[in-house]
Amino acid sequence: MSVRSQEILKELRLRPLWRHRVEEPNSIAKTPNSSVTKKEDRNFHISHLDWAQLKENVASCTSCSLCQNRVKAVFGISDKNADWLFVGDVPSVEEDIQGEPFIGPSGKLLDNMLEAVSLKRDNNIYIANIVKCRPPGNRNLDHSEALQCEPFLIRQIELIKPKLIIALGEIAAQNLLGTNSAIDSLRGRLHEYSGVPLIVTYHPAYLLRIQSDKEKVWQDLCFARNIMQKELKDS
């Protein structure tokens, strides 16, 4: 278009009107969900931590509301190269104060359970919980809280490389196995968690209330001992 033609159009107010183009919703480029990306970044970060870094990250974690009431994060104890991994559910009041899992009456009963099958907590055993902070008021664990803590437990399992996992109680079993099944339907069977054999039994705190089920725990531990012997033979 000539300069003269542009001037005529301008005088007649017929000059093209240029507007900023706004893309239709269908044409807008999709951006990653920021919350998903943040979660993936956090999980990736945790998956590369060594023991010292992992413990430090657990102690300073503020990813869920449980951190607001904790005295100490309960990381886990005993042999970092253990064949046996025992996983409970949530820290008790005593555990929250001292920062160690399974102390007090439940811990003493767990020690007796271990001794019954010739095991000791400081020898070839590691003990942890599904979450590292205690829910206030002994309330039930929220699933979102378990999900926030899951990367820490996953990394612990990766570092330990256990030959057998014992889920202590229904909450631990359901979270590790991704199921809503009741504990009675999970006991007595061999399960698997990320390629690691897993056996379910009752939590010591439950046995303090329902002592009649101690015989069932004895059966579970004997079952676990047989599985471990097979794992050691095959390795």
Q: Where are the domains of the chain?
A: 47-234
**Mean pLDDT value across the chain:** 88
- The mean pLDDT of 41-65, rounded to a whole number, is 95
pTM over 0.85: no
Tell me the average pLDDT across 201-223: 96
pLDDT at 2: 53
Q: What is the pLDDT of residue 19?
A: 42
Task: Give long-range contacts, CB 8 A cutoff, 24+ apart: 20-23.
Answer: none
Strand partners, 187: none
Mean pLDDT on 176-180: 97
Q: For the packed helices 34-46 and 143-160, what is the interaxial angle rounded to 10 degrees?
A: 30
Q: Please report the pLDDT score of residue 235 as a whole number.
A: 77
- Residue 135 contacts residue 145 (beta carbons within 8 Å): yes
**Under 8 Å between Cβ of 177 and 166:** no
Give the other-Cβ count within 10 Å of 101's Cβ.
28
The 10s digit of each residue's pLDDT in 80-106 is: 999 999 999 999 999 999 999 999 999
pLDDT exceeds cutoff 60 at 12: no
Collapsing DSSP to helix, strand or coil, 21 comes out as coil
Q: What is the mean pLDDT of residues 149-158?
A: 97
pLDDT (0 to 100) of residue 33: 67
What's the fold here for domain 47-234?
Uracil-DNA Glycosylase, subunit E (3.40.470)
pLDDT digits (tens, 9 = 90+) for 20-40: 444 444 433 445 566 678 888
